[in-house]
Amino acid sequence: MIESSENFFNNQKINVSVQDFLEREVKQLTCFKYAYTIINKKDPSELFCISSYPEGWARIYLNNTYQLVDPVVIFAMNSFVPFQWDENLLIPSRMKLKEVFVIAQKYNVINGFTFVLHDASNNLATLSLLIDKDNADNIDNEIRNKEAQLQMLLIKTHSKIMSLYRDMNIDAAQKKGEPDDIFTHREKAVLYWSCMSKTYPEIALIQNIQVDTVKYHMRNIVNKLGVCNAKQAVRVAHELRLISLIAPE
């Protein structure tokens, strides 16, 4: 199944294509149920998931934004290597964290193995394999011996979806017309200074406007380009040569 937060990797055609690719590849490597997720590290409420986990659990997880309190996600945010997990991964002091594993157990989501990837767009991508009680003893043979292939599968899958969305965004932007028709004068200025690695407060000072106004213009830029965040907007605008070569007055 495919689940996504609103406006976050929500093109159905692309997602089905990636799902088909992932399922074919997973079947060649393992018999475990899997979950491929993308989480926006700047706004973790934004989540995308392709999963063969129990559908009831997947929907509960998304509807309750459990990624905000999931010990596996918290661990993955600070990890760069694969890791095995169960309810003892963390010993949280807050009941909300314990709640995730308590409810997960009702769907036999008890322990697993997670591969981690941090991309250049500030996303956390993971590939988790669900280990049920019937195959827990085979983890070393079934997963650890294939760590390299499974990590590469995560890299290939994430590269595929990011490339497809990038191509879609470029096509959408090109259909909007010439650069002068896409952005206002102020939006061009915000894009230019963002490309120069200026922070929002620095851009506000340069343009003699408020920081909130800079953020407002950047949100408009993000929406016009059909991307997920400011960093992607700057990259796509640069690829399309929509950023002025000199600072707009």
Nearest to residue 239, comparing CAs of 140, 169, 153, 190? 169
Fold: same for 2-167 and 177-239: no
Nearest to residue 220, comparing CAs of 201, 248, 194? 194
What single DSSP character describes residue 130?
E
Domain topology for 2-167: Beta-Lactamase (3.30.450)
Model pTM? 0.68
Question: What phi, psi does 209 have (nearest 5°)?
Answer: -135, 175
Tell me if the domain spanning 177-239 has CATH number 1.10.287.130.
no
* Cβ-contact 16, 60 below 8 angstroms: no
* Cβ-contact 7, 48 below 8 angstroms: no
In tens digits, the chain (249 residues) has pLDDT values of 888 887 789 889 999 999 999 999 998 888 788 999 999 998 899 999 999 988 888 888 888 888 988 888 999 999 999 998 877 665 444 445 567 777 777 777 778 899 999 988 889 999 998 886 665 566 667 788 899 999 999 999 999 999 888 878 766 666 655 445 678 889 989 998 998 889 999 999 999 999 999 999 999 998 888 788 888 888 888 777 778 766 676
Domain extent listing, the chain: 2-167, 177-239
Write out the E strands in the chain: 2-4, 33-40, 47-51, 83-85, 111-118, 123-131
Question: What phi, psi does 49 have (nearest 5°)?
Answer: -150, 135
What is the enclosing helix (H) or strand (E) of 131? strand 123-131
Please state, as a whole number, how many other Cβ atoms lie within 10 Å of the Cβ of residue 35. Answer: 23
Identify the bridge partners of residue 115 per DSSP, sorted by sequence position: 127
